Chain A
Amino acid sequence: MAKPQTPVDLADPALYQRGIPHEAFAEIQAAPGLLWNAIDSDPDDGFWAVTRHADVVEVSRDPATYSSAAGHIQIYDIDPDALEARASMIDMDPPRHTRLRRLVSAAFTPRHVLDHRDAIQDRVDRALDAMVAAGSGDWVDIVAKPIPISVISDMMGVPPEDHDYMIELSDHLVAGTSNEPLEASAYGNTTELRLLPFNSPAAHGINEYARQLGEQRRREPKDDLVTKLINAEVDGERLTDNEFTNFFRLMIFAGNETTRGSMAHLALHLHQFPHEFARVRSDHSLLESAAEEVIRYSSPILYFRRTATRDVTLSGTPIRAGDKVVMWYSAANFDESIFPGPLRFDVDRPLRPPNVAFGGSGPHFCLGASLARLELTILIKEILNRDLKVEVIGEPHFVPSNFVNGIENLQVRVG
């Protein structure tokens, strides 16, 4: 029996050139059951497009059925040896996932991220000072990029003089999910690209950096996450070189690219919905829900994929063991059955049911959620305290990717 097909190819980066394709997602959400998205017109390759909020939550909370290890967590398949080489906890299921996550999870709880409040405030102040001094310029470069990267780099133990290098490298990693390749030998890379995360030579750059930093911390321990990782033991064994570098890379990428995306979109929201932020300015109790609305509306990670480990029925559609199942967080966050008037930016939306920008439920719920929320809240609060007007004066350039909802360049004028 033929599987009902998606009306568009959700894997095509071009679909995201103007941000989230709301119409296409709404059409898919309205269809009964799940729709199948063929990949590259291959009759044997494709994925189930999960777009409704309830379905995304159901998939995310059942790792035994919807595995992160049985196949890659991105849409395209990669060879098992390539998967093995790049695997971090994001590519694993419990119990191995849980053991790795616990090595760092204490640092990211709501209570512990407050330890970074002053440092975050300092970074926010510096970024906004620079933006005001410039009067106009690229919000992404001056505000959205430096704040998250400096915060996660500090936590990892990357010194300030190397923060720009982290930005450069992770920018290239994301480019690996779009259509803009680097030279294979960039960053001194000699490894086959298919064995590198995102097939990007920038991954080699990050791995090398991680190794060197790890060596330094082995000799001179400090109170940072690299020191914790380099000394950690799981099942009585130290992390292998691969496990360590993959962990480092995961932290740098995840703690950087995503929050940057929400902070970049914040400028668009300030420009498009000034009346909403005026409400927050006169009532700071709305800060939490305002930050959450920025996150919902921007959905910095568009999707993650799982692989069915058994035959299962979801939303009335039979899924076969081995099928790819893709959770479109960016669609679920605009599910009108959960978020009435989903395209309305509302700083006072109820916080329950929660948006799924952080991954819905289950063991892979975003490690950095509390940190991201704190960074964004401090930035919004400071913008409002300074009574800054942010005006977008150029067309936003969205990162051409089916994976992240990033903005590459956003010309603004502030006053």
Chain B
Amino acid sequence: MPEDELVPMAIDDDLCIGVGQCELLEPEVFRLDDDEGRAHLINDGRLPRDRAETVVDKCPSGAISIRPTT
């Protein structure tokens, strides 16, 4: 089903300011580095599309996006 389709996430390092909403929402995919205060992808960095869109929307600095798969 399209909503269950797993999409790859991407984090723009320049925009990430370590707010941590991504980690709060999806701790299996996003983890904040304790020293640098920056988010990284963990495991396979993929989410079902609808949850991906929620995380993208929730990031206050707009650092998260769905990576184009073409």
Pairs across A and B, CB under 8 Å, 27 listed? A61-B61, A95-B14, A101-B18, A101-B37, A102-B36, A102-B38, A103-B37, A104-B37, A105-B18, A106-B32, A106-B34, A106-B36, A107-B37, A108-B20, A109-B18, A109-B19, A109-B20, A111-B20, A111-B23, A352-B57, A360-B60, A361-B62, A362-B61, A363-B15, A363-B17, A363-B61, A370-B19
Whole-angstrom distance between the alpha carbons of A360 and B62 in the complex?
11
Query: Does B21 touch A at the CB level, under 8 Å?
Result: yes
Q: Which residues of A contact B37 (CB under 8 A)?
A: 101-107, 109
Q: List residues 16-70 of chain B with CB under 8 A from any CB of chain A.
A: 17-21, 23-24, 32-38, 57, 60-62
B-side residues, CB < 8 A to A, are 14-15, 17-21, 23-24, 32-38, 57, 60-62
Q: Which residues of A contact B32 (CB under 8 A)?
A: 106, 109, 111
Q: Which residues of A contact B34 (CB under 8 A)?
A: 106
In the complex, per-residue mask of A67-98: 1 if CB is within 8 Å of any chain B CB, else 0: 00000000000000000000000000011001
In the complex, per-residue mask of A346-366: 1 if CB is within 8 Å of any chain B CB, else 0: 000000100000111111010
Q: Min CB distance, A251 to chain B, in Å?
A: 15
Sorting the interface of chain A by its residue count into under 10, 10 to 19, 20 to 34 or 35 or more gives 20 to 34
Which DSSP category, helix, strand, loop or mixed, fits chain B's interface? loop
Q: Min CB distance, A391 to chain B, in Å?
A: 36
The answer to whether B20 touches A365 (Cβ under 8 A) is no
Q: Which residues of A contact B35 (CB under 8 A)?
A: 106
The answer to whether B36 touches A110 (Cβ under 8 A) is no
Q: Which residues of A contact B62 (CB under 8 A)?
A: 61, 361-362
Query: Does A250 touch B at the CB level, under 8 Å?
Result: no
Q: Which residues of A contact B14 (CB under 8 A)?
A: 94-95, 98
On whether A110 and B21 interact (CB within 8 A), knowing A102-B38, A362-B61, A363-B61, the answer reads yes
Whole-angstrom distance between the alpha carbons of A112 and B20 in the complex?
9
Q: Which residues of A contact B21 (CB under 8 A)?
A: 110
The answer to whether B19 touches A365 (Cβ under 8 A) is yes
**Beta-carbon nearest neighbor of A110 in chain B:** B24
Q: Which residues of A contact B15 (CB under 8 A)?
A: 94, 363
Q: List residues 211-248 of chain A with CB under 8 A from any CB of chain B.
A: none
Query: Does A193 touch B at the CB level, under 8 Å?
Result: no
Query: Does A384 touch B at the CB level, under 8 Å?
Result: no
**Beta-carbon nearest neighbor of A228 in chain B:** B35
Which one, B18, B23, B38, B60, contacts A361 given CB within 8 A? B60
The answer to whether B60 touches A362 (Cβ under 8 A) is yes
